[in-house]
Amino acid sequence: MWAGIERPVCLATATPFSENWGPCDRGIPVSEKRLAPSEGATARPAADRGEGAAAVIFEALHDDLVPPERATTGAAGYDLRAYLRGRRVRVSTGEAEEERAVTDAGELDLEPGVTALIPLGFRARLPRGFEAQIRIRSSVAFRRGLMIPNAPGTIDSDYPDEWMVMLRNDSTRTVTLSHGERIAQAVLHRFSVLPWTEGAVAQTTDRKGGFGSTG
């Protein structure tokens, strides 16, 4: 079944799926199982139908990719590593954009004020009803002055392409990023979808003005 293509991997355990898309190793159940087609319809994975345990399916785009992983059992975020070796990276000064080649050593320099889209080397499918919130690692922000301008960034469940992290150098010095470096975290989050209905909005409290929150 997998001849000539990359085998999908279970994000929970970083192990490839078997030929029948069975459970991941170590007994962690996944909902992505091949279903027997029903009459007159094409079967979909259980996660897409809102049934069973949810799992994130990701596809490594390079053989040496280190998959997203949590550092501890209590960690909420999955560490994301820059995949820079052999890549060209889009950068922006806010006034102009360009592509930069990464050095042979897998390094990329970011000057002060420059923003880059850092590739992660994989693409993934989230269960329906989930988003991935992309957040900077605290140590990267504190020690190196790198920020995610739109933090937290959102990756939707139907986004089909390689995941990337938008990083901006907010420091006063050039910062060098290295291949395989942990730069951000992905926190999985359920969300709700509600209809928007047009109507009058009356003031129901004593609040006035501001920018939408008390912050």
pTM over cut 0.85 = no
- Tokens 């001849």 sit at which residue? 3
Residue 172 is encoded by which pair of tokens? Answer: 């006063």
Radius of gyration of the chain (CA): 21
Cβ pair 62, 9 in contact under 8 A? no
Q: What top-level class would CATH report for the domain 62-190?
A: mainly beta
Q: Where are the domains of the chain?
A: 1-55, 62-190
DSSP 35-76: -PPPTTS----GGGGT-S----EEEESSTTPPPPB-SSTT--
Per-position pLDDT tens, the chain of length 215: 444 445 555 555 455 544 444 444 433 333 333 334 444 444 445 444 444 578 999 999 999 999 999 999 999 999 999 999 999 999 999 999 999 999 999 999 999 999 999 999 999 999 999 999 999 999 999 999 999 999 899 999 999 999 999 999 999 999 999 999 999 999 999 999 999 999 998 888 877 776 666 55
